[in-house]
Amino acid sequence: MIITQATLQDMDGVFAILRANHVSNVPEEEKKNGFVTTNLTEEQMKALIEKENGVTIAKDDDGKVVAFALAASWEFWSEWPLFAYMIEELPKFTCEGETLTVENSYQYGPVCIDKSVRGTGVFEKVFFASLANYADKYPYMATFINQINPRSYAAHTRKALMTEAGTFQFNNNNYYMMVCPTTPVEER
C-alpha cells in the first residue's frame, strides 16, 4: 500500500470511490457504515489537486486508488453552502482553548475508504498523512460529521484522536464539529 498526494492521473480513481460512497448511491442498510454528502465537479477536484495539493490517497499494489482524504483552505471550500455556513460558525468553536478562524484552521474531508480495506489501518494512514501535509500551514484542523454516521465518528475519535468541539445544524441535518491540532503536543 502506498500513501501519497494525488496527481491528476489519480482523479478517476478518487471519483470512483467518492461516487460509491455518496449518500445518493449508498443503500439504506449500508448507511450505518458511512456515507458522504460533498460532491465536487471535475474542475473543483483538479483545482484541489493542482492548486491546494489537498488530496491524499492510498493505492494498492496494483496502483488502484482504495482510499482518499480531501483537505483545503476554508477559502477553497467557501463556494459549498455547508462550508460557507461552517465559516460563519467557526468563532463559536475552539481547539485547545483557541477560537477557530479561517487563518488558523483548514477543513479536512470528505474521507472515503473502499469497503475492501476498511478496518485494516488504511484510514489511520491516510488521515495522518493528510494531517501532516497541512501541519506547517495551520495549527488546527476542523471537519463535520453527520450525527447519523456513527462509524465515521468512532473512527475519527478512537483512531484519529479528533474531539467534538460542539454541534450545529444545517439544512435539517445535525452535525458534530470535530477538531484536532495538526501537531501533537509531544512533537512541538
Binding region for ligand COA (CB under 6 A): 21, 32-36, 109-113, 118-119, 123, 145, 149-152, 154-155, 158-159
Specify the pairing of strand 140-146 against strand 105-113: parallel
Compute the chain's Rg from CA coordinates: 15
CB of 149 to ligand COA, least distance (A): 5
Q: What is the DSSP letter of 100?
A: P
Shorter beta-carbon distance to ligand COA: residue 63 or 119: 119
Specify the pairing of strand 2-5 against strand 55-59: antiparallel
Nearest to 91 by CA among 82, 100, 103: 100
CB of 153 to ligand COA, least distance (A): 7
Shorter beta-carbon distance to ligand COA: residue 65 or 112: 112
CB of 135 to ligand COA, least distance (A): 20
CB of 17 to ligand COA, least distance (A): 8
d(CA 70, CA 65): 14
d(CA 179, CA 131): 12
Shorter beta-carbon distance to ligand COA: residue 29 or 187: 29
Shorter beta-carbon distance to ligand COA: residue 51 or 158: 158
